Structure 1
Amino acid sequence: MVRDGMNYREAVEAIKGAILQAQYAAAKSVNAQQLQLYFAVGGYLSHQSEIQAWGSGAIDTISEMLQKDLPGLRGFSGRNLRLMRTFYREWSPYLIPTPNLELANSELPNERTPIIWNLQLPNSSGCSFDDFFSIGFTHHRWIITHAKTLEERLFYVHKCAAEHLSVTALKRSIRADDFHRQGAAPNNFLSALSKSQQALRAIATFKDEYLLDFINVEELGVRDTEDVDERVLEQGIVQNIKQFIMTFGKGFSFVGNQFHLDAFGVDQYVDLLFFNRDLNCLVAVELKNGPFKTAYLGQLSGYLRVLDDFERREHENPSIGLVLCRDMNTAFVDYMIRDYTMPMGVATYKTSKDMSHELLDALPPIDALKALLEGDT
């Protein structure tokens, strides 16, 4: 063991120097400095393990020695050091060090070589340098572990940065497969919205399926999913409205449930009414417990017309509607929705009762989900 310690002392000193330098600079830019440090350490470990043919216990030994040299040091366990190495290997084709910092030569930064990075990403990715360095290492760890393609990873990086997602919210987004479901809801936005950019934003906003895993029908006092009517579902959503908005995405504000519309003396009630800041419009959501029916589009179209004529303000865009139902035939919905001039989409939802045992086992316990209502989103 002593001889192993001698073999790894150079690595410990190099990493320790980088840690101390990064800690000094952290007051200026905590998250970016931390990520740059982890990338540098990961690169160093990657190159050294290849050059020196380290055994399987090398990184754990280095971690133990770091803990002894820097008592109280957190975040540099053997597991985390291996994650830093993975972080480097996964992103090194796209994160390019400046000429002053060449990790390939087995040197970590010192006071003469500041940690400065250039980020090269595809122009069409929508992910920027600031996006990448504004989210934490735990976010990055989940992204590189669960998203396998570059496009998918960049999607979640940008989503985390733009929507300020917590790690818990990121996990929900990945479980709901938001990357593949973005813009997939059957809709008539391109034909119903006169402004093309508004239509494209609307298409990107709504998914074809929403995972309402915070609603446990058993906790609502219902023995069977088939017994859940729209009002019971609405009750569960309103009680967990913060989670529902997180599921829907960025920019939604809750206006009310059973929102009263009074046109020509006829009382009507929208199940859930939101306002979306990015779309600058009211969003009416109709909840349906069963499969999609054509009549739902007619009902929602009428609500949208009243909203536009009696509730919409001059500076706001036309209201948008969404039918949220248990099941649908996508091709049939696409065909039927073309006949309507009011902008609408249709999506399905799942609650915890509907999900597989494998997915349910992967979810946080219900107490943890409830705690999110009072915690950080």
Structure 2
Amino acid sequence: MELEKEIVNDIRNIVYQARDKVYQVTNNTMVQAYYEIGRTIVEKQGGKEKAEYGSDLIKTISKELSAEFGTGFKVSSLKDMRQFYLTFSKSHALRGELSWTHYRLLMRVENEKARNFYEEECVNSNWSTRQLERQIHSFYYERLLSSKDGKTMKDNLSDEDELLKSPSDIIKDPYVLEFLGLPDQASFSEKELESALISHLQKFLLELGRGFSFIARQKRITFDGRHFYIDLLFYNYLLKCFVIIDLKIGDLTHQDLGQMQMYVNYYEEKVSSKEDNPPIGIVLCVDKSESLVKYTLPKNSNVYASRYKLYLPSEEELRRELHKEYNLLELEKTIGTK
């Protein structure tokens, strides 16, 4: 019986792998076909992005093709194919790992740098279409731009190597935790917040970004006869360092930052190996004072304070926050030169 079960499992794996390959080939073929259809339409319109007779032409094409091939050639679909070619013809080769649904989501991102970033992350992190949609709607790219090390509003974050050069490159502010389903008001405890994050660990890892691996919750460290407990402990295999996360539901205090600095110092001295880079500490809080962070932590500290939101921020809200942080950075530069 054991031999039969083993053979059945092996055959089952072969079938699944074959199905995956067939799906991948079919998907690549269809994506390429849609691209070529879009190219044909654009070129027949004289290569113009906006052609005066474009709408009537597409209606005619849709009617003819639908009569011959059935569904799949509606006016809206043909317009998507046309836009697909216009969006990606000037950038680079199509990615075989991405489906037509991936590309339909990507081509609705107007910012080219953001679109390129999402495309690279989608491939590197193997995002599903649902995960890609969530990251776009939660302004993942824009939140990475708001890191607190003077790179705010920097011009280029689309390059994969540029993205992960330093610890601050993985820090987002705010983190969006709408998937927890918790009320916006602070009517829950830090323990309940921690439990909710563990229950939705896969989604939390997606929000943290690429390279994170979960190690432990309530990780105990002991020295001088005293016990301390780290809320959440991760390791980032791209940056090759431990990432320590503490959760706060009240106002951020200098004691919170000091405690995190202690955790980071301990892990650097007692836990990290010679091959590891210095640990990173993140205090996740509802709100924070930039001045408190600045005057509590040493200049070269690997400790960061980031807010979390329990809902998806609107584009306007996020834009206001980015401009606010940009203005604070410019003010610090001005003061520093006087």
Question: 2: CA distance between counterparts of 1:295 and 1:305?
Answer: 15
- 1:349 counterpart letter in structure 2: Y
What residue is the counterpart of 2:307 in the other structure? 348
Question: 1: CA distance between counterparts of 2:72 and 2:270?
Answer: 56
- Mapping of 1:190-201 within 5 angstroms? 200-201=165-166
Q: Please, what TM-score do these two structures have when normalized by structure 2?
A: 0.73
Q: How far did 1:337 drift?
A: 5.2
Q: How far did 1:322 drift?
A: 0.4
SS in 1 for 2:179: coil
1:249 matched to 2:201? The reply is no
SS in 2 for 1:182: helix
Among 64, 72, 87, the alignment partner of 2:84 is 87
1:155 matched to 2:117? The reply is yes
- 1:265 counterpart letter in structure 2: G
SS in 1 for 2:180: coil
Question: 2: CA distance between counterparts of 1:316 and 1:349?
Answer: 28
Among 292, 297, 301, the alignment partner of 2:252 is 292
- Mapping of 1:32-111 within 5 angstroms? 32-49=28-45, 54=53, 56=55, 58-70=57-69, 75-92=72-89, 94-95=90-91
Count of equivalent residues: 282
Question: 2: CA distance between counterparts of 1:182 and 1:240?
Answer: 22
Larger mean CA deviation between 274-283 and 171-180 belongs to 171-180
Q: How far did 1:46 drift?
A: 2.5
Does structure 2 retain, via aligned residues, the 8 Å contact 1:261–1:269? yes
- 1:204 counterpart letter in structure 2: D
Structure 2 unaligned blocks of 5 or more: 1-21, 152-161, 318-338
Question: 2: CA distance between counterparts of 1:320 and 1:302?
Answer: 11
Give percent identity, aligned residues only.
Answer: 27
Question: 1: CA distance between counterparts of 2:259 and 2:115?
Answer: 39
- Mapping of 1:147-296 within 5 angstroms? 147-186=109-148, 200-217=165-182, 225-296=185-256
Residue 227 to residue 78, structure 1, CA distance change in 2 (3 Å): same
Question: 1: CA distance between counterparts of 2:126 and 2:52?
Answer: 41
Among 135, 138, 152, the alignment partner of 2:98 is 135
- 2:87 counterpart letter in structure 1: E
SS in 1 for 2:167: helix
Question: 2: CA distance between counterparts of 1:199 and 1:158?
Answer: 13
Q: Please, what TM-score do these two structures have when normalized by structure 1?
A: 0.66
SS in 2 for 1:256: strand
What residue is the counterpart of 1:323 in the other structure? 283
Q: How far did 1:309 drift?
A: 3.2
Structure 1 unaligned blocks of 5 or more: 1-25, 96-118, 120-128, 190-196, 219-223, 360-377
Q: CA RMSD in A?
A: 3.2
Once the two structures are superposed, residues 51-100 of structure 1 have per-residue CA deviations (whole angstroms, 9 ceiling, x without a partner) of 996574553453354344335xx6433322110111122233x15xxxxx
Question: 2: CA distance between counterparts of 1:285 and 1:322?
Answer: 5
Q: How far did 1:213 drift?
A: 0.7
Residue 326 to residue 237, structure 1, CA distance change in 2 (3 Å): same
Once the two structures are superposed, residues 297-322 of structure 1 have per-residue CA deviations (whole angstroms, 9 ceiling, x without a partner) of 10001112222333323432221110
Among 299, 307, 311, the alignment partner of 2:271 is 311
